[in-house]
Structure 1
């Protein structure tokens, strides 16, 4: 090999190797499961006492353990079911956020329980007690939620009315689920601060948190995702799923969200042709809309349910 060729070939090889190592680390950081719930962001530490009061309630309330694929340890999904205080034909299925679990949604569980709902709180793939090496950011989870829906119908009655609800990654999961063929028992959806697509969210966070460009890392991470999870990141779009949605949907998003930018809420809303509402919560950061004013949050939810669910 000529000396002039080596002059540019060696740096390029080094750059390629560095990019491959960085993409592997980035994939593991973002997608690999962790067996603990990370601390919340600093801006929500002030709600800690209120949060743990909800968790105390959650730990004491009567619950049942539900499963998908119970006897298959590699695919077993776990959920907690909280029956309503009085028999009810209304059930809400709640989807938690990134690296959370069902318990981290205790505040929403209590809110819906007080509204007379049965509450089902699954642990998503790669979270909590459920199986899975990797976090799928809602795309594979949407398939599990289809199974949870059918289990609710089988264990309840054909007359059950189901509400789908999620926050952050859970909100995006509900948006991705919305484009699937759903039983008529699913009456409405509420998605709080969901992203428009995995690719857009990863690209945004690469720039904001790590000051890195989309290329070459995002395509490399996408290739790793295809090999390990079965899909390229560009194949997954909440907005494309929402374009097929036929259920009434309420979008909620914090005005000052810098983790999932509020512009994604407008994208998701615009993509939806079904009956829809959008509530942008002033001065709320990511997943903070409930905590800013829990009563106001419940009032908005009840107003939506009065129009589209009851």
Structure 2
């Protein structure tokens, strides 16, 4: 058998070593870009007139501040709690999107408050007033939100009824929660434009923003993130969570969503055998279904809650 020349071995070794170095550098760069809280130039910071008005309204309500400690961590988390105008044991826990804050959910908080619900809106790890130097993409946050629901129960009593609601990353968060053992007081879920997994969303964005294939970059970024953040990025799957779900769940998605592709909502809808409803909003882009038709959105969502909360 003819021996491979040393220069060939050295060349192959150098090429492979160079590839690993480049991949490692790219992984660190995209980890910073996707998992470290900071200004993201791919996100729009523009607010609509309606969003500004809702945030002004929220400040005028002087909501209470609640505190919690993150699961498997000593990170301190903040939330706002807005009680209903008339006493009720019904509440909605609201989950915000990627690099948003609880205040950014003002339109939805107002919608639920006007419908007579108590509302709790937390800041996720690394967002708003909560501590943390990484973005959980909803996966570790699902456990934190479960703790928040327990605080709501302590406030409203064992006979309280709770709905989970989330938009974008918040939509993924509440879907992830559906696979956990939740308090019996949690009665239903409404998710708006959540993704199927962190891996799927990273792969989609790599293609959309940089025209890069998912492999090997996305697994490398996920590995880097898992090591640095301490949570398993590979395990985050709404599909797997929804297979365990037994709660009634409503799925909402914009028909023209190009940030979390509309195709993902069909996968999520198919994954659960629970009582469910799907509403794909014509003409709506990412996280704009409410803004597209606030009246219809309110009718659909509040109607769903009234149907599934006694």
Is the Cα contact below 8 Å between 1:37 and 1:100 reproduced in 2? no
Distance in 2 (alpha carbons) for counterparts of 1:53 and 1:276:
32
Query: Would the alpha carbon gap of residues 244 and 208 (structure 1) be closer, same or farther in structure 2, given more than 3 Å must change?
Result: same
Distance in 1 (alpha carbons) for counterparts of 2:221 and 2:165:
29
| Ranges in structure 2 where 5+ consecutive residues have no aligned partner | none
Query: Would the alpha carbon gap of residues 120 and 228 (structure 1) be closer, same or farther in structure 2, given more than 3 Å must change?
Result: same
Distance in 2 (alpha carbons) for counterparts of 1:10 and 1:187:
58
Distance in 2 (alpha carbons) for counterparts of 1:38 and 1:106:
23
Deviation at 1:37, TM superposition (A): 8.5
Is the Cα contact below 8 Å between 2:225 and 2:233 reproduced in 1? yes
Partner residue, 2:26: 22
Alpha carbon RMSD of aligned pairs, Å?
Answer: 2.0
Distance in 1 (alpha carbons) for counterparts of 2:304 and 2:296:
13
Distance in 2 (alpha carbons) for counterparts of 1:40 and 1:75:
26
Distance in 2 (alpha carbons) for counterparts of 1:137 and 1:158:
30
Partner residue, 2:227: 227
Deviation at 1:279, TM superposition (A): 0.3
Partner residue, 2:188: 188
Distance in 2 (alpha carbons) for counterparts of 1:237 and 1:140:
12
Is the Cα contact below 8 Å between 1:137 and 1:173 reproduced in 2? yes
Deviation at 1:228, TM superposition (A): 2.1
Deviation at 1:26, TM superposition (A): 0.2
Partner residue, 2:156: 156
The count of corresponding residues between Structure 1 and Structure 2 is 305
Deviation at 1:11, TM superposition (A): 2.9
CA deviation map 1:29-76 (0-9, x unaligned): 101123x6979538xx5x621110011001111311100139xx9411
Is the Cα contact below 8 Å between 1:238 and 1:268 reproduced in 2? yes
1:180 counterpart SS class: coil
Distance in 1 (alpha carbons) for counterparts of 2:40 and 2:15:
41
TM-score, structure 2 as length reference: 0.93
1:284 counterpart SS class: coil
2:244 counterpart SS class: coil
Partner residue, 2:78: 78
Counting only pairs closer than 5 Å after superposition, residues 88-107 of structure 1 correspond to structure 2 as 88-107=88-107
Query: Would the alpha carbon gap of residues 171 and 187 (structure 1) be closer, same or farther in structure 2, given more than 3 Å must change?
Result: same
The answer on 1:41 being equivalent to 2:58 is no
Partner residue, 1:205: 205
1:184 counterpart SS class: coil
Distance in 2 (alpha carbons) for counterparts of 1:122 and 1:172:
15
Q: Which moved more, 1:220-229 or 1:22-31?
A: 220-229
Deviation at 1:158, TM superposition (A): 1.2
Distance in 2 (alpha carbons) for counterparts of 1:135 and 1:40:
15
Query: Would the alpha carbon gap of residues 53 and 236 (structure 1) be closer, same or farther in structure 2, given more than 3 Å must change?
Result: same
Distance in 1 (alpha carbons) for counterparts of 2:143 and 2:233:
17
Partner residue, 2:13: 9
1:243 counterpart SS class: helix
Deviation at 1:295, TM superposition (A): 0.5
Is the Cα contact below 8 Å between 2:112 and 2:302 reproduced in 1? no
Partner residue, 2:239: 239
Is the Cα contact below 8 Å between 1:96 and 1:170 reproduced in 2? yes
| Ranges in structure 1 where 5+ consecutive residues have no aligned partner | none
CA deviation map 1:102-130 (0-9, x unaligned): 00000000000000011101000111111
Deviation at 1:307, TM superposition (A): 2.2
